[in-house]
């Protein structure tokens, strides 16, 4: 899985939740943690959908105000 693509999908997902590109609430460590969770869910799901998994992880992150896993 291409890390740059997933990072870009994560960034774009936060932008959909009305975060400005300059004010994204993520550090490099946050991106890495979210990427690791995407990878885990991709391995776990029978028919993984990358876009859906990224959106679910972003939603979980925002609603839990940090790392939900």
- Looking at residue 22, what is its pLDDT? 67
How would you label 53-69 residue by residue, b for 16+ Cβ within 10 Å and e otherwise? bbbebbeebeeeeeeee
Alpha helices, DSSP H only, in the chain?
Answer: 3-16, 28-44, 50-63
- Looking at residue 32, what is its pLDDT? 94
Cα 33 to Cα 42: distance, rounded to the nearest angstrom = 14
- Looking at residue 26, what is its pLDDT? 80
- Looking at residue 21, what is its pLDDT? 64
Intervals of the chain under pLDDT 50: 67, 69
Question: Within 13 A of 13's CA, how many CA atoms are on the CB side?
Answer: 22
Q: Cβ atoms within 10 A of the Cβ of 34, count?
A: 24
């Amino acid at each position: 899985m291409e890390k740059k693509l997933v990072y870009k999908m994560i960034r774009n997902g936060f932008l959909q939740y009305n975060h400005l590109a300059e004010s994204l609430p993520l550090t490099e460590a946050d991106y890495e943690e979210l990427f690791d969770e995407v990878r885990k869910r991709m391995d776990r799901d029978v028919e993984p959908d990358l876009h859906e998994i990224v959106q679910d992880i972003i939603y979980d992150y925002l609603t839990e105000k940090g790392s939900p896993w």
